[in-house]
Chains A and B, each alone.
Chain A
Amino acid sequence: MAYSDKVIDHYNNPRNVGSFDKSATDIGTGLVGAPECGDVMKLQLKINKEGVIEDAKFKTFGCGSAIASSSLATEWVKGKTVDEALQIKNTDIVRELNLPPIKIHCSVLAEDAIKSAVADYRKKQESLVKEEVLQTIS
């Protein structure tokens, strides 16, 4: 099976590879896996007070399509608000990268990673608010 040029480009020059401190309050971390192929993907979002994604990083251990999907996802989410980022669908990734049917699950993985990173960020923010409330009360 031949990879599309776009997949090869992302595979050879992955954008935004790396990690943020996952305990930082402005970072949301999504760690997801694809049970059918055993790939694992970590996607992290750095989100400012206005809810805009300032930066994104990823690290994926898996096939070329999984790497390309997550690399593309980090490019796309940057500058978007959290809500806009949640609108990214795996089908958009499939279209952009020309993924064959057998590799669609890689794009699903990238979509899941964004959602799970946002969920992690929101959970952190909620507990921060709770802490503040507790402090004000006491």
Chain B
Amino acid sequence: MSQEARLLEKQCWNCTTLTDEHFCTSCERIQLLDLSTNYFSFFKLPIKFHLNLKELENKFYELSRKFHPDFFSQASEQERRYSTERTSMLNDAYRTLKEPLKRANYLLRLQGFKAIGQETKTPPDLLAEIFELNEQLEELRYAKKSKDNTLFNTLKTQVLDTEKMLKERANELIYNLNSIFSLWDNLPNNSSLEEKKKLLNNISDILSKIKYINNLLENIEEEFDE
């Protein structure tokens, strides 16, 4: 995009003041949502993993009020559309940023990762283990269905042990994730591409491991919920 086009895009549609805010700094009219806006920039946050959740929440409520359709019931159709578009992005952005795992995945995508774990292959050991544990859970479902109580109780103890072990591992991985993201957040601006890539690959690798484990944990929880 040419510099000129970019400038045009950031001009207020109403009074042509240059503005990069949700509302024009001069005439206070709601602005068109720029396509280059991401969830971080929407909240005026730097693209970093660690953020102040309380601040994020406050900002969310503040903006929800400002964009609320009720304020635009008398406005032009254009402004009504801008307010809906901003509300919708606000909700998506908040939902994504407030959850650490969603935020981590989103941050990686912004850095050009198409899909998590694509760069690094899942360790075969982990795959084999996850597969085996899934089979264990399947056996338990079968015992339940065929009303084999003795077998069911034995398997239940095993599965609950598995659950405990998986939760510990997930916590450990999340701890690692936090520390690697601290490195990422504090990378100096002049750090090399390789350095960045190395950290991001590491993060991607951990996220995929967490995904396998959380999937299995969800399935286990589902089994005992009913």
Contacts and interface: CB of A to CB of B under 8 A. Distances in A.
Contact of A36 (B117, B124, B130): B117
A38 B118 CA distance: 13
Interface string A13-56: 00000000000000000011101111110100000000000000
Contacts of B216: 38
Contact of A37 (B127, B128, B138, B211): B211
Nearest to A19: B135
Given A38-B211, A38-B212, A33 B115 contact: no
Chain A interface size range? 10 to 19
A119 to B, nearest CB: 12
Given A35-B117, A36-B116, A105-B115, A61 B214 contact: no
A42 B131 CA distance: 8
A35 B134 contact: no
B118 to A, nearest CB: 7
A42 B127 CA distance: 10
Interface in B110-134: 115-118, 122, 124, 127-128, 130-131, 134
Interface of B: 115-118, 122, 124, 127-128, 130-131, 134-135, 138, 207-208, 211-212, 214-216, 219
Interface of A: 31-33, 35-40, 42, 59, 61, 105
